[in-house]
């Protein structure tokens, strides 16, 4: 099981080879991927701001829904853990909510461009930082 953060999909849209290899594993069902519902929000918002092509956002969000397990933030444990992460690590709220969702689902490896994820240093957790 892996987690895919918003930055992962931005890198994928930019043609990043490492992101493309991971996504190929997801599409071939060799990796089970989890994505926060907040990633759908972030990608949609970037499309509205014209930072990402709107049609590309529609395609990626549809692919996420079809190929990944979505993590919804309606779990009280996610809310509680994210507040501790945000406070303790100085993490922005959305990043903390996304990370907490991965941790509650016991995801051990997350692909991201968010350096804040590397601040979380617990055994058996790895934040794979894709170059920005």
For the stretch 62-108, pLDDT in tens is: 999 999 999 999 999 999 999 999 999 999 999 999 999 999 999 99
pTM for the whole structure: 0.92
Which of 7-16, 36-45, 114-123 has the weakest average pLDDT?
114-123
Residue 97 and residue 78: Cα distance in Å, rounded? Answer: 7
CA angle 2–71–20, rounded 5-degree value:
40
Instruction: Enumerate the H helices of the chain as residue ranges.
Output: 6-13, 17-27, 37-48, 54-67, 76-89, 93-104
Helix, strand, or coil here: 129? strand
Residue 48 and residue 78: Cα distance in Å, rounded? Answer: 27
Residue 16 and residue 131: Cα distance in Å, rounded? Answer: 9
* Residue 16 pLDDT greater than 70, yes or no: yes
Residue 55 and residue 64: Cα distance in Å, rounded? Answer: 14
- CATH top class, domain 2-129: alpha beta
């Amino acid at each position: 099981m892996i987690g895919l953060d918003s930055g992962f999909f931005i890198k994928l849209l930019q043609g990043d080879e490492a992101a493309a290899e991971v996504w190929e594993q997801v599409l071939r069902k060799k990796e089970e991927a989890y994505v926060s519902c907040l990633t759908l929000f972030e990608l949609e918002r970037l499309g509205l701001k014209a930072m990402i092509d709107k049609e590309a956002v529609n395609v990626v969000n549809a692919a996420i829904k079809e190929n990944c397990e979505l993590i919804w933030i309606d779990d009280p444990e996610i809310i509680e853990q994210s507040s501790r992460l945000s406070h303790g690590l100085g993490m922005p709220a959305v990043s903390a909510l996304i990370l907490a969702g991965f941790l509650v689902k016991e995801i051990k490896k997350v692909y991201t461009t968010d350096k804040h994820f590397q601040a979380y240093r617990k055994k058996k957790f790895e934040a794979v930082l894709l170059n920005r």
